[in-house]
Structure 1
Amino acid sequence: MTVKDEVIDTHLEHIINFRRRLHREPELSFKEFQTTNLIENGLEDTQIKFYDLSEKTGLIGVLEKDPSYDYIGVRGDMDALPVTEMTNLDFKSENEGVMHACGHDIHTSIVYGFAKVINDMYDDLKYNIVFIFQPAEEVLGGAKYIKEELKRLEIPVDKIIMFHTWPTLEEGLIGYREEDMMAGSTGFNLKLTAKGGHAAHPDTTADPIYLASNIIQFIQGIASRFNDPATPVVITVGQIDAGEKNNVIPGECSFGGTIRSFSEQSIKLAKNMIEEYTKDLTEMSDAGYDIEYSKYCPPVINNQELVEDFINCGDPSVFHELKEPSMGSEDFAFYMQDYVGAAFRVGTKMKDVKESGYSLHSPEVVFSEKSMKTAINALVNFATGAKKK
């Protein structure tokens, strides 16, 4: 057993217990106050320098070895989802209607555990480490906040890394891609207004339900007939609201959804086409409309050199190349606008636990705790195996 393995094993039980407490006591976006306190209190005996942030949630700490070394950010998101947990775990959520259904408790515990271990291996460090415990990933606001804090506090970051749980990847493995990793996305809400009327006389109205169905049908054709198929785009309408009675044509109809692509140009094309088509249709029908776009998140495009460096510092048998990127979005992309970055998947699927293969955000999903050791081990290998600049 290596010194690294001994150090990790020394802290492993504590890391697991820390994770289980986070899972029992989940907190929603920008309300991760107790989580922040638990992290800071748990790491107060380390050499890590922590900084006071503008809000009472989130935490940034720096372990500096040599100013001439690169500063590597390691990010873990902390927020839970408004989901009622339906697992049989002994440490299931005690906060009604809130659950760590996306594995952010695992992410936080990986960075927390890495901080514990690398503090004990300080003499072997080949990088300066910036520990980022980020709030509010689920609402796509936390990364922007932390970026502003990094700039305000003048904390340098040269490169940044993150892990995300992945229920389709076996525990003990780390998934990687050298370029496109996750899609960019934007939400949209479209409201149609028209003169309503009696269901028996549709010719006297501009029926907003009919107009909405027409627009939604057109939206589905953008991906297949107008967008470049080499840069796929997915447009999904997830909600629609109109009317109260079967024999009344309402005066309003609203619907909304998301646009996702690895190409910012494809997202822009989809937005423009939706607006142009809606404008032309409502003008012809003597109706009105309003479109709002929200929660834009850029795509996650990994830096190839950083991915290769990370893999080359570790055990090659652990790393698994993912054949396909994910159409899900991740606000880690905002860091990558300013810093060289790479996102990795950590396998959380357990052989004999079918719930560990359930989708992220499922109220029944469970995550392998062995995944934390896998990720911490890879981070330690990278932090101690790099060469001085």
Structure 2
Amino acid sequence: MPEYREKRLLAANSGLKTGFGGLAMHIMSYLQKVYRELHAQPELSAQEAQTAAFVAAELKEMGFTVTTGVGGHGVVGVFPLVGSGPTLALRCDMDALPVSEETGADFASQNPGVMHACGHDSHMAMVLGACRYAVANEERLRGTLMAIFQPSEEVGMGARSMLEAGVFSRLKPFRLVGIHNWPDLPAGTLGLQSGPITASTDQFKAVLRGVGGHGARPHQTRDTIAMAAAAVQNAFTLAQRRADPASPQVLSFGAIRGGTSFNIIPEQVVLEGTVRTVRSEDQALMIRLLHQAFKAAADLHGGSYELMYEEGVPAVVNDPAVTAEIAGFFAARIPDIPVVSEGLASLIGEDVGCFLQEVPGILLFIGSGQEGAVNELHNPRFLVPCQTLVTGYKALTSIIAGYLSK
């Protein structure tokens, strides 16, 4: 064996030949080390320079061909295995949140006001661990492993930016697996469900315009406060009565701005909110209903309206065939890990859906809930437990072995 390959395999724990039975102590130590280092140095969306450098260095040490600066701070590692075969992509996110950490952990954030409160540090640790498994077992595997470390997930921009930068232009995988820790599931379990599991995350702003005046003389005005009250009620009523109750969706208003004093009817009121849907036809219907609601309110009071609607990240839809394939891998290779296959859908957003519109794949949930702990993403006291790292590693290595074994 050439010296460079021997060193590479030793760096990737060459003694590890299975990733889904017992777990060697050195890989457990590696998972925890990476998780803690990344947790202590969080970076906000579009600012993940040091995180990207850390990830790139780890991949290069393993022997991956690494491309940096993909769609911002995105990192892509490619590792050809021994023997021709398909390309499998693993995707994780890198950015942190503007949250001041309150965990009290000895590896807590060293960047004031920034925290990995969504667990993206754990996602990177699990994917890097799975990459080490592939390198250590390359003689038993075929094809290519692609590792995608995506920036700016929290602001819904990273996946699209990487796609626009041509992340798949040279090498397009045949399957893509994204991961996310999930505190609604107990640590030590997995969540794998076919079909829609997250929603499109759209936002809108409506401007209602009228004629302002004295609060004692409303008949001389075109009252935008009255328009706004009617618009909100119209929208809620239409969304409730016209939308398909069998399809998950929600309309919420988050801001109403207008007026400067208790006795002045303002010239303008601004409404802002969000729409979450899992089907494109529901999204289109909701846009039509908002126009209908705002126009009716404006017409009633002699005013006008303008609706600005911004489509956000698409819904994540787990491919049924890929879901079945991976469920089979889990049953055969990690039967001791419980897999939840229903009740996982929610109306949160996750921009891995952009990748899944290009490549058949799934978003896999890895349980991170702990009894007596804070089990809420984006909370300043949330931490991902070590058991989650182990479960995610076992899941990813079983997927690698399932798709890429000779």
TM-score normalised to structure 2 length: 0.89
Please give the residue correspondences for 1:26-65 in structure 2 after superposition, counting only pairs within 5 Å.
26-54=42-70, 57-65=73-81
Letter in 1 for 2:350: E
Aligned partner of 2:385 among 348, 368, 377: 368
Q: Indicate yes or no: 2:214 matched with 1:198.
A: yes
Question: Contact (CA 8 Å) 2:238, 2:293: kept in 1 or not?
Answer: no
Greater alpha carbon shift after TM alignment, 118-127 vs 100-109: 118-127
Deviation, structure 1 residue 12: 2.2
- Tell me if 1:122 matches 2:138: yes
**8 Å contact from structure 2 (residues 182, 365) kept in 1:** yes
Whether 1:328 and 2:348 are equivalent positions in the alignment is yes
Residue type of the alignment partner of 2:268: E
Structure-1 residue corresponding to 2:103: 87
Q: In the alignment, does 2:176 pair up with 1:156? A: no
Out of 121, 126, 129, the residue aligned to residue 113 of structure 1 is: 129
- Quote the offset at 1:7 in angstroms: 6.9
Indicate the SS of the match to 2:61: coil
What is the RMSD computed on CA atoms of the aligned residues?
A: 2.2
SS of equivalent to 1:45: helix
The amino acid of 1:285's aligned partner reads: H
Q: Pick closer, same or farther for the CA change 1:150–1:388 going to 2, 3 Å.
A: farther
**Could you list the per-position Cα deviations for residues 202-258 of structure 1 after superposition, in whole angstroms to 9, with x for gaps in the alignment?**
222222222112111122123320112222320011122222222222222112111
Partner of 2:27: 11
Identity of aligned residues (%): 28
Cα distance in 2, alignment partners of residues 67 and 334 from structure 1: 30
Asked if 1 retains the 8 angstrom alpha-carbon contact of 2:199 and 2:314, the reply is yes
SS at the partner of 1:289?
strand
CA positional deviation for 1:152: 6.6
Counterpart Cα distance in 1 of 2:198 and 2:71: 28
Contact 1:106 1:369 in 2 (8 A): no
- Separation (CA, whole Å) in 2 of partners of 1:55 and 1:175: 29
CA contact (8 A) 1:8 1:373 kept: no
Q: Which AA in structure 2 matches 1:372?
A: L
Q: CA, structure 1 residues 125+328, in 2 after alignment: closer, same or farther (shift >3 Å)?
A: same
Select 2:362's aligned residue among 339, 342, 346.
Answer: 342
The residue type equivalent to 1:287 in the other structure is: G
330 and 272 in structure 1: CA distance in 2 versus 1, 3 angstrom threshold: same
Equivalent-residue separation in structure 2 for 1:141 and 1:89 (angstroms): 30
Is 1:209 the counterpart of 2:225? The answer is: yes
Is the Cα–Cα contact under 8 Å of residues 214 and 263 in structure 2 kept in the other structure? yes
Secondary structure in structure 2 of the residue aligned to 1:255: strand
Gaps spanning 5+ residues in structure 2: where?
1-14
1:99, distance to aligned residue in structure 2 (A)? 1.6
From 268, 272, 275, the equivalent of 2:291 is 275
5+ residue gaps, structure 1, are none
Q: Which amino acid in the other structure matches residue 160 of structure 1?
A: L
1:188/1:386 CA distance change after superposition, 3 Å? same
> Is the 2:198–2:278 contact (alpha carbons within 8 Å) kept by the matching residues of 1?
yes
Alignment of 1:208-247 (within 5 A): 208-247=224-263
Q: Give the direction of change, closer, same or farther, for the CA distance of 1:259–1:173 in structure 2 (3 Å limit).
A: same
Corresponding residue for residue 335 of structure 2: 316
Q: What does 1:351-362 correspond to in 2, within 5 Å?
A: 351=371, 353-355=372-374, 357=375, 359-362=376-379
* 1:144 aligned onto 2:195: no
For 2:359, the aligned partner's letter is Y
Q: CA deviation at 1:366?
A: 2.1
Distance 2:142 2:239 in 1: 46
Match of residue 304 from structure 2: 288
What TM-score, normalized by structure 1, do the two folds share?
A: 0.93
d(CA) in 2 for partners of 1:67 and 1:219? 58
Structure 1 residues 374 and 113: alpha-carbon distance in aligned structure 2, compared to 1, 3 A threshold: same
Structure 2 counterpart SS, 1:334: helix
CA distance in 1, matches of 2:273, 2:118: 21
CA distance in 1, matches of 2:122, 2:366: 10
Residue pair 1:183, 1:260 contacting (<8 A) in 2 also: yes
| The 10-residue stretch of structure 1 (110-119 or 30-39) with the greater mean CA deviation from structure 2 | 110-119
Offset of residue 52 of structure 1: 3.9
Please give the per-residue CA displacement for 1:245-274, whole angstroms capped at 9, x wherever unaligned. Answer: 222222221121111111111111011111
Change (3 A) 1:245 1:371: same
Q: 2 CA distance for matches of 1:51 and 1:241? A: 45
Q: Distance in 1 between matches of 2:287 and 2:266?
A: 26
For the residues of structure 1 that align with 2:292 and 2:238, how far apart are their CA atoms?
12
Rate the CA distance shift 1:68–1:99 in 2: closer, same or farther, 3 A: same
* Cα distance change on mapping 1:119 and 1:194 into 2, 3 Å: same
Match of 1:354, as an amino acid? A
| Separation in structure 1 between the aligned mates of residue 190 and residue 267 of structure 2, nearest angstrom | 52
SS in 2 for 1:382: helix
Inter-partner Cα distance in structure 1 for 2:33 and 2:311: 34
Partner residue, 1:75: 91
The residue type paired with residue 345 of structure 1 is: F
Structure 2 contact 91–177 (Cα < 8 Å) conserved: yes
Instruction: After TM superposition, give the deviation of residue 112 of structure 1 in Å.
Output: 1.6
